Amino acid sequence: MKVYDLHCDTISAIYELRKQGKEAELYQNNLHLDIQKLQKGCYGLQTFALFLNKEDTENCFEEAGKMVRIFKEELEKNKEYISQVYTFGDVEKNEKEGKISALLSLEEGAIFEKSFEDLQWFYNQGARIATFTWNHENMLGYPNHFGDPMKERPWSTGNENGLKKRGLEVLEQMEHLHMIPDVSHLSDGGFWDVANAAKRPFLASHSNARGAAPDAARNLTDDMIRVLAEKGGIMGLNFCVSFVRERWTPGEPGASMDELIRQMKYIVNVGGEECLGLGSDFDGIEEAPQMRNGAGMQSLAEAMERAGMTCKLIERICYGNVKRFLRENL
C-alpha cells in the first residue's frame, strides 16, 4: 500500500543533530525516517516540515533558512531516489520515475510573521503548507495549548484567542500565493477564524479527534472536523500517543495499531471517508508507535485490513485522500 504523509520533523531533527556535532544524513540515520525507511514503507510522498521552537531561537527566519539548505542539499545528494515537488505535476512525474516526492512545509508562524517578503521567500524555496503557530503565542495568533504535550496534559486556550490582525493578513497572503494554511497547533478560536475567512480549502496536517481523546486539546472537535471536511479540507492522523490515547498519562508507551485505528474510525464517522489522511509527526514525537518508524508502515495497512476496513477506505487514508487534496490545491 502506497503512503502519502502530511507531516514529519526529520529535517529539523537532522539539523539539531548536526548542531550538536553529530553526523546525520537523510539517506540513512537512526531517526524515524530516512530514505531507506521510506522505500521499505512504500512511501510515495513525504512532507518535511521546517520546525523550530521560537522561544529558543534568536532569528526564526534565518534558522529556518539554514534548514532549507540542508533539505535541498540532502535531496540533491539523493536525487536518484527522492525529488522535491512544487506542483502536482511534479508528484505525477516522480511517480512515473519511481521516486519519492518531498514536499516542504513550515511549522511555526514566527518563521515568516514579520513580512510578506519572508513568506514569499519560503514559497519560492518550495514551501507549500504553513502553520500559524507551534506551542507559543506569536505575531499571528495563539497555540491550542501552552506547555509540553509530552510531559503534561494539554489544555485548550479557548475560542476567545483567535488569529490576530497580522494572522488574518498572512492568511490572505498565503491564499494569494496558493500556499495551503495549516491549522494544526492553532487555538480553537484561530481555527474558526481560518474556517470563516479562508476562500480555499485548508488542512490540519497532524491532528486527531478530540472526541476520541478528550484530554488532548491539540486535537479537533467534531464540529471542526465536519467544517474542515465540508470546505474540502483534510486532516493527517498524528501518531503521537498523547493525541491518540483516550486517557493518556505522561510516560506511557507509544500508540498501538488498535489505538490509531480507533482514531481513524472515529474521524471517518464524523467527517466522512474523504477527510482523513496520514500526518505521522515522525521525528517530532518521543514515544514511537507500534510500527516503530516509517519502515513499518505496511504493518499499519495490514492492521487496518484486519480491523475490517475496506480496501477502498485503506487506500484513501494511506494515500488517496492526500493525493486528491494535493491534485486540487497544490
Which pLDDT does position 290 carry in this prediction? Answer: 96
> How many Å apart are CA 141 and CA 243, to the nearest integer?
22
Residue 275 maps to which CATH number?
Answer: 3.20.20.140
Are 195 and 228 contacting, i.e. CB atoms less than 8 angstroms apart? yes
> How many Å apart are CA 273 and CA 285, to the nearest integer?
26
Q: Judging by DSSP bridges, how do beta strands 100-107 and 82-84 pair with one another? A: parallel
Which pLDDT does position 112 carry in this prediction? Answer: 98
- Domain hosting residue 74, numbered range: 3-329
Which pLDDT does position 328 carry in this prediction? Answer: 98
The one-digit pLDDT tens for each residue of the chain (330 residues) are: 999 999 999 999 999 999 999 999 999 999 999 999 999 999 999 999 999 999 999 999 999 999 999 999 999 999 999 999 999 999 999 999 999 999 999 999 999 999 999 999 999 999 999 999 999 999 999 998 766 655 655 555 566 789 999 999 999 999 999 999 999 999 999 999 999 999 999 999 999 999 999 888 889 999 999 999 999 999 999 999 999 999 888 889 999 999 999 999 999 999 999 999 999 999 999 899 999 999 999 999 999 999 999 999 999 999 999 999 999 999
Which pLDDT does position 160 carry in this prediction? Answer: 74
Tracing cell 511549522 back to the chain, one arrives at 107
The pTM of this model reads: 0.96
Are 287 and 252 contacting, i.e. CB atoms less than 8 angstroms apart? yes
In total, how many domains does the chain have?
A: 1
Which pLDDT does position 249 carry in this prediction? Answer: 85
* DSSP sequence for 292-309: -SGGGHHHHHHHHHHTT-
Are 203 and 132 contacting, i.e. CB atoms less than 8 angstroms apart? no
